[in-house]
Every structure is written in structure tokens, then in C-alpha cells.
């Protein structure tokens, strides 16, 4: 049986509203999460597109927008990827749910991330375990990039 979730949290030296911007505005997400841009239609049902120069694109769908404390999306980062390959839309069997929860801690923000749904991915146990392992390795790196980005980028407002 495959584990079903990844849980991480990090303290970011920025107020909740600022961290919300960094999580939900494409101009920021495309710098700390993807390295080749992002598109976000910030409403439940809205589409998301994450871009990486090395890995290709991944599509998502906004599930929850509760400014400034909760943001969630499903995404399909596990399909075929590369130049000229259209990324798959999230659907049962090819996507997981990513949930961000933000809470103030003094002038900083405690950001919790939970990615779940790995056990429901299509594929054999080895393939699914590989997806879980890859994202387990990836989230600490992405969150470290977010912390650094928050420290070095002026507020957009």
C-alpha cells in the first residue's frame, strides 16, 4: 500500500497577506515554484498552469480560495511531459490535491502544505511510489525557494 499524503510546514518571515500573494499570484508562483512562469485563474474551478524549463508544464484546477488563510488546487504533474506535449488536465487517477493553510505567528506566517491522493493515482505500485517519493523530495526544495523569494522580493502593492 502506498502512503497517501505529504505534510510540510515552514515559517516565512512575511505577513500572511504577503505570503498569500506569493502563493496565488502567477507572477510570483512562476518564479519560486515553476522557473518558466505560471498562470492562475484564482477562483474555484479556475485553471492553473505551472511551467518548468526542465520538466515541462503541469495543469491544475483551483478548488478552494479562502483569502488569506486557505488555498487548494488539484494538479496533474504525473502525465507525459516535454516539448510539444500538452499537459493533462487534472482528473481522477492522474492528480493530487495540494492544500495550503496560512496562520500568523507574530509578524511571520506559518505555512502548512498537505498534498494528498497518491493512493488513488493510476499506475502500478512502483510508479505511484515514485511519484510520492519525488514530491516528498520536492516540497522541501520548493518551500525553501518560497522562503528565499519572500525574503528578497518587494511587495507588489
Confidence of residue 135 (pLDDT cuts 50, 70, 90): very high
15 domain residue, yes or no: yes
- Of 157, 142, 150, which is closest to residue 8 (Cα–Cα)? 142
- Is residue 23 over pLDDT 50? yes
Task: Look at residue 83 and tell me if it is in a domain.
Answer: yes
Q: Residue 31 is part of a domain; what is its CATH number?
A: 3.30.530.20
Q: Residue 89 domain-assigned?
A: yes
In a domain, 157, yes or no: no
Residue 84 has pLDDT above 90, yes or no: no
On whether residue 145 sits in a domain, the answer given is yes
What domain range is 85 assigned to? 5-152
Total domains, the chain? 1
Query: How high is the pLDDT of residue 19?
Result: 97
Helix-then-strand count for the chain, H and E? 3, 7
- Residue 76: inside a domain: yes
Amino acid at each position: 500500500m502506498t502512503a497517501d499524503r505529504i505534510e510540510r510546514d515552514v515559517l516565512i518571515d512575511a505577513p500572511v497577506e504577503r505570503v498569500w500573494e506569493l502563493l496565488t499570484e502567477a507572477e510570483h508562483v512562476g518564479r519560486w515554484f515553476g522557473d518558466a512562469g505560471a498562470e492562475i485563474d484564482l477562483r474555484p474551478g479556475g485553471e492553473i498552469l505551472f511551467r518548468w524549463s526542465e520538466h515541462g508544464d503541469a495543469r491544475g484546477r483551483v478548488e478552494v480560495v479562502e483569502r488569506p488563510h486557505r488555498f487548494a488546487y488539484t494538479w496533474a504533474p504525473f502525465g507525459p511531459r516535454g516539448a510539444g506535449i500538452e499537459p493533462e488536465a487534472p482528473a481522477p487517477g492522474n492528480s493530487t490535491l495540494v492544500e495550503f493553510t496560512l496562520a500568523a505567528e507574530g509578524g511571520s506566517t506559518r505555512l502548512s502544505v498537505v498534498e494528498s491522493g497518491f493512493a488513488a493515482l493510476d499506475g502500478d505500485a512502483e510508479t505511484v511510489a515514485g511519484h510520492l517519493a519525488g514530491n516528498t523530495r520536492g516540497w522541501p526544495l520548493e518551500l525553501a525557494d518560497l522562503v528565499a523569494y519572500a525574503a528578497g522580493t518587494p511587495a507588489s502593492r
